[in-house]
Chain A
């Protein structure tokens, strides 16, 4: 049982009221949340300090423009805010931020986190022409019933980690049939409790209804298995990979939006990885042909060695791939199997080291010959 707050408004109005209370009481200096930009349904993350601007904020809007993890990392990279800021983000975004903090690319100092049991988000390209707007009633209906909303992103359909690990505050959305009438805000940590302290609302003892979460978990697990099985059939060695990545145009968009890919000087974009005439010559001599620009497979495999250990399955890479390569399914699948051998769950605990920067003296004997 954790302390919880009940606000008798719909979930979005409820959390907005809570955020307004935080701003007005001075408990936080700013609110980091999705905010509407225009009437077409375009949203972006914004840091809001004036309670008036909260009117346009849409904390639970089912789209993920850039992962909040990457954004918070940029926000806190050169130093934490001097006054507390509260960020509303999805569980995968939070996991991404935790992974970045582990890499010293951000900090939790003066950053409080609000997350939710997440119903998933729509693909980024639906954030135009009010496409998401029109889907909202269906979306919330599905979330209420612990179902997977139609048309959400592939990564979300197969996501089984829709309950945040480390959020200070969790908003109960999935399977909560009363989200039209009330907003249940669970205060998971001391920080969360102190934020809610003094708010004029009903306090109660509550916990997430795991049964309702499990209903969704089962559906998502089925979907995930289907996705993984499908991609597994295609990933048969180099031929399979060429099949999958053959249409990559080398825009490196997946890398740019990835919350784990944080290097400012990327190996794959450095002049070093540029082919010189001699490289072309030797390749031509060896193979009798070469794809131009070269290095696609090197990029993808290389990124797998960098990311797989910490892939949080946010699906941002899928969202931006202009040629529809199922990047996130592949990375999540490979990622999970790699994470398994290190017994590591990315984003679960900020104090746990990344497996590659630590070691046990006796382990992985099976990999030696």
Chain B
């Protein structure tokens, strides 16, 4: 039976407390359907996410990593997400340069009122990862 089971990716999602986590909550309370692939971690601000967290998740075998925060200009701490964006760009560029599947990383802005967007992002990202398949890092012993 196990062989027939469709591959369901494991996606680690770092969600900011003020917008994206609330957005995810809203998706839930609005009973929107999205795949059970997302493992959310709540952080106070998206700028709390050290690129090292993302690397650790990736090396740990996450099939995808989602970083979500308030829309630019709407950060609860005024400018945290601007820094996030730069750090994310840096990390994604490094992944690109090392030919290391940058598509497994995603940055998205989801506000507290965007339950629909959260569900959509979760669905689309899951579909995308499903197409790329399981992360090959998962089975690597040397890391």
Contact = CB atoms under 8 A, between A and B. Distances in A.
Contacts, number: 120
Interface of A: 235-242, 246, 267, 286-291, 294-298, 301-302, 304-305, 308-309, 333-334, 337-338, 341-342, 355-357, 359-364, 367-369
Given A238-B137, A295-B143, A367-B89, 13 more contacts: A238-B100, A241-B98, A246-B142, A288-B141, A291-B141, A296-B143, A337-B93, A338-B97, A355-B86, A356-B86, A357-B83, A368-B108, A369-B121
Contact of B90 (A291, A356, A360): A356
A287 B121 CA distance: 30
Chain B interface, DSSP helix/strand/loop, else mixed: helix
A247 to B, nearest CB: 10
Interface in B97-128: 97-101, 106-109, 121, 125
A334 B90 contact: no
Contact of B91 (A297, A305, A333): A305
B97 A334 contact: yes
A364 B91 CA distance: 13
B140 A287 contact: yes
A235 B98 contact: yes
B99 A235 contact: yes
Nearest to A364: B89
A241 to B, nearest CB: 6
B35 interface: no
Contacts of B108: 368-369
The number of chain B residues touching the other chain, given as a range, is 35 or more
6 contacts: A291-B142, A297-B143, A341-B89, A368-B107, A368-B108, A369-B125
A6 to B, nearest CB: 45
Interface stretch (B11-19, B25-33, B37-45, B52-60): B52-60
Nearest to B105: A367
Nearest to A295: B143
B141 A289 contact: yes
Contacts of B48: none
A367 B98 contact: no
Nearest to A287: B141
A246 B142 CA distance: 7
B97 A302 contact: no
Contact of B101 (A237, A267, A357): A237
B82 interface: yes
Nearest to B128: A369
Contact of A367 (B73, B99, B107, B140): B107
Contacts of B137: 238
Contacts of A296: 142-143
A338 B82 contact: no
Contacts of B87: 305, 356
Contacts of A360: 82
Contact of A305 (B73, B94, B121, B143): B94
Nearest to B54: A305
A58 to B, nearest CB: 38
Which of B59, B73, B97, B108 has the most CB atoms of chain A within a 10 A radius of its CB? B97
A71 to B, nearest CB: 28
B142 A298 contact: no
Given A298-B56, A305-B51, A369-B107, A356 B141 contact: no
